[in-house]
Amino acid sequence: MSVEVHLQRFERGEPSSESEANILAMLSHVARDNESGCWHIAYDDLNNCDVYVSRDKADPSRVTGLTISRPCGDGRLWDSIYAILSSGPWVMYYPASGPSLIVTDERHCDQLPVEMLEAVGPPRVVRLTCSQNPDPPTMRVPQAAGSGQEILDEADTTHTRTDHLEAA
């Protein structure tokens, strides 16, 4: 079973969009020969994944959602995801037994559909902070393959970073 991470943008409870150019500017290592509906991201032979793009039907140059298939453990991917989540009212969700909605700003919670909140529960607000500690903390990320029940706090792979995610 493969893990998928979903990002979707909402405003006033309805799907909304962001320009493809903005999204691509936030993603690193996107292959140049991508199809319009799937982008391949490759950091090295072991760290790569596919990103499936959902577009606005009225304006295909705008993106309403992303599905990251088998997200790799490279911190640059997770930095890119965080940048997208921080760019507006985006939410990240994934299969999990615990909290599975993630936003970077509590104000984004008000933009989510009521049905989503009722079905899944309240989102977790995650912020990127800089460490004052000279020893970089460990950032934990979900495994790319597994039962599909991995959550950010219980991942198997760690990466040492100079910044870390902090739940609010």
Residue ranges with strand state E in 4-106? 4-11, 14-15, 18-19, 38-42, 48-55, 62-69, 90-93, 101-103
Q: How many domains does the chain have?
A: 1
Query: Tell me: the pLDDT tens digits for 71-130?
Result: 999 999 999 999 999 999 999 998 877 668 999 999 999 999 999 999 888 899 998 765
The pTM assigned to this predicted structure is 0.74
* Per-residue confidence band for 162, with pLDDT thresholds at 50, 70 and 90: very low
Give the whole-angstrom CA distance, residue 102 versus residue 122.
9
pLDDT for res 2: 79
pLDDT for res 100: 85
Closest among 86, 90, 79 to 27, alpha carbons compared: 79
Domain that holds residue 13: 4-167
